[in-house]
Amino acid sequence: MKIEGSVALVTGANRGLGKAIVSALVQAGAAKVYAAARDASSISADGSRVVPLVLDTTRPEQIAAAVKQAGDVTLLINNAGALNAHNVLTMSPAELDADFRTNVHGTLDVIKGFLPVLERASGSATVVNVLSLAALGSFPPLGGYSASKAAAYSITQALRPALKAKGIDILAVLPGPIDTDMVRTLQMPKTSPADTARGLLAGIARGEEEIFPDPMAEQMSALWNKSHKEYERAFASF
Ligand SMILES: NC(=O)c1ccc[n+]([C@@H]2O[C@H](COP(=O)([O-])OP(=O)(O)OC[C@H]3O[C@@H](n4cnc5c(N)ncnc54)[C@H](OP(=O)(O)O)[C@@H]3O)[C@@H](O)[C@H]2O)c1
């Protein structure tokens, strides 16, 4: 998809990767970027092409209002994500529910809400789901979160034929660790949000169904293609 001239909406746009995606979209020539966040006052409007929007992806009435306000979207980037559920033996059911509520149900509900808008773009609309390398193989210290990203990956695949029939592409982004609040306490090499955002947009421009936007993700994608078992073992040993 051509980023230049597109009308994008990014969820979770107030910090971390979402904020970097908004800046990268503006730099790449998007005509308009709806920067959606639970608290619209937390959005730094990066130029006149950025439009702040209130959107908690778990609140149906806010999704409906966002669809009304952003009826010209051609590129929907589901970036909002939650990480509450760590070790599957010690996490609480509430923590697992919280990750599934945002990472799975929120993502799907936003896509369903925006379908009529995306259909109007007649063949030039794209949905992008920001998942994680943990969607392809569990990272046991974040086992509950990994399960939610695996479910979101499965839903991405389930949507692909139905959306294709409506002229809408759907892409999955599978990043490695990013230097954001989400993994502040994890000691491991991380890619900057700006570099991840650039890799993500390059993957969208190439229309890749699976986008590996950073060097670690590229390395892990090679391992995944070679052997899913080796991929699983590599994550288990981190
Ligand atoms: N950081 C990593 O290592 C990493 C690696 C792979 C994939 N990812 C994925 O990348 C995406 C961005 O994560 P990040 O690293 O930028 O994390 P972050 O710094 O923790 O930011 C998370 C963003 O999601 C928003 N959010 C959470 N729940 C929401 C909801 N129900 N409705 C709307 N917005 C919500 C947050 O808004 P508030 O400010 O209101 O909380 C915040 O803007 C996520 O999908 C994450 O799973 C991250």
Q: Give the residue whose CA is nearest to atom 37 of ligand 1.
A: 12
pLDDT tens-place string over residues 81-97: 999 999 999 999 999 99
42 touches 56 (CB < 8 A): no
Distance 192 CA to ligand 1 centre (A): 14
The structure's pTM equals 0.98
pLDDT at 122 (0 to 100): 83
**Contact 80 CB / ligand 1 (< 6 Å):** yes
Decide if pLDDT at 1 tops 70.
yes
Torsion of CA 11, 15, 21, 22, to 10 degrees: 80
Decide if pLDDT at 61 tops 70.
yes
Name the residue of 38, 56, 84, 109 to mutate for ligand 1: max ligand atoms within 8 A of Cβ: 38
Distance 230 CA to ligand 1 centre (A): 28
**Contact 178 CB / ligand 1 (< 6 Å):** yes
In degrees, to the nearest 5, what angle opens at C-alpha 111 toward C-alphas 217 and 109? 105
pLDDT tens-place string over residues 155-165: 999 999 999 99
**Contact 52 CB / ligand 1 (< 6 Å):** no
Distance 159 CA to ligand 1 centre (A): 22
Q: Tell me the CA distances in angstroms from 208 to 1, 128, 192, 197, 205, one per residue in order.
A: 10, 10, 21, 15, 8
pLDDT at 222 (0 to 100): 98
**Contact 147 CB / ligand 1 (< 6 Å):** no
**Contact 78 CB / ligand 1 (< 6 Å):** no
Determine the atom of ligand 1 nearest the C-alpha atom of 173: 7
How far is residue 109 CA from its own chain's centroid? 14
207 touches 1 (CB < 8 A): yes
125 touches 70 (CB < 8 A): no
The lowest-confidence range among 46-50, 65-69, 162-166, 206-210 is 46-50
DSSP lists the bridge partners of residue 178 as 191
Round the average pLDDT of the chain to a whole number and report it: 96
pLDDT interval class at 46 (50, 70, 90):
low
**Contact 12 CB / ligand 1 (< 6 Å):** yes
